[in-house]
């Protein structure tokens, strides 16, 4: 719950510590703002506070054009391209790239394949395909250590298209076949 007096004090002081914590909705203009909005502060009797921009919009308010509430800290717009990379990494971890090519994957993220590779290079220091390959081989290594699954099952669960590709990538990474890392019972 938001304390009206605390929110009002923060709004009048334009306290940056509260940016993204609450939003001020102005009943007379039907606009909602961030606590740091440079506009003249509305009268106390004309405002209410909400915990999210979505709650403001659900109540019938529209975003302020001056303080741009969609850019509050930790919003997708605030995080920028980091949001795209975080989403891409989550999708790769969930195996989405195992069943589609880089171009389709980039399209799913709403960007082009070249831009996706540039972002990966910027944030991870490697390409999308290298990142996915590393994720697959790390998952395979964990499955080798923690389960008694066959190598074929491990290859499949790790996202490799074939046992042959799995063996090849594993040897390339660890300089030994996957069977040599299998824990002995």
Q: What is the pLDDT of residue 79?
A: 61
Average of pLDDT values for 82-96? 88
Q: Which H helix or E strand runs over 169?
A: helix 163-174
Average of pLDDT values for 62-77? 78
CA angle 2, 9, 63 (to 5 degrees): 65
Q: What is the pLDDT of residue 81?
A: 78
Share of the chain above pLDDT 70, in %: 94
Answering whether pTM is above 0.85, one says no
Q: For residue 29, give the 3-state DSSP assignment.
A: coil
Domains and CATH numbers, the chain: 4-71 (3.40.10.10), 80-185 (1.10.10.60)
Per-residue pLDDT band for 73 (boundaries 50, 70, 90) equals low
Which amino acids are annotated catalytic?
33, 37, 64, 67
């Amino acid at each position: 719950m938001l304390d009206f007096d605390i929110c009002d004090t923060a709004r009048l002081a334009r306290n940056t510590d509260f940016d993204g914590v609450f939003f001020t909705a102005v009943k007379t203009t039907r606009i909602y703002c961030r606590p740091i909005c440079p506009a003249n502060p509305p009268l106390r009797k004309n405002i209410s506070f909400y915990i999210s921009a979505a709650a403001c919009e659900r109540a019938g308010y529209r975003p302020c054009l001056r303080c741009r509430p969609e850019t509050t800290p930790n919003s997708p717009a605030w995080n920028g391209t980091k949001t795209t990379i975080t989403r891409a990494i989550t999708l790769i971890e969930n195996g989405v790239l195992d069943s589609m090519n880089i171009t389709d994957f980039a399209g799913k993220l709403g960007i082009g394949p070249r831009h996706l590779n540039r972002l990966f290079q910027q944030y991870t220091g490697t390409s999308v395909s290298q990142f996915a390959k590393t994720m697959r081989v790390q998952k395979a290594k964990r499955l080798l250590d923690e389960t008694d699954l066959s190598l074929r099952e491990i290859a499949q669960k790790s996202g490799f298209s074939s046992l042959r590709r799995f063996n090849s990538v594993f040897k390339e990474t660890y300089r030994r076949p996957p069977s040599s890392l299998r824990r002995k019972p």
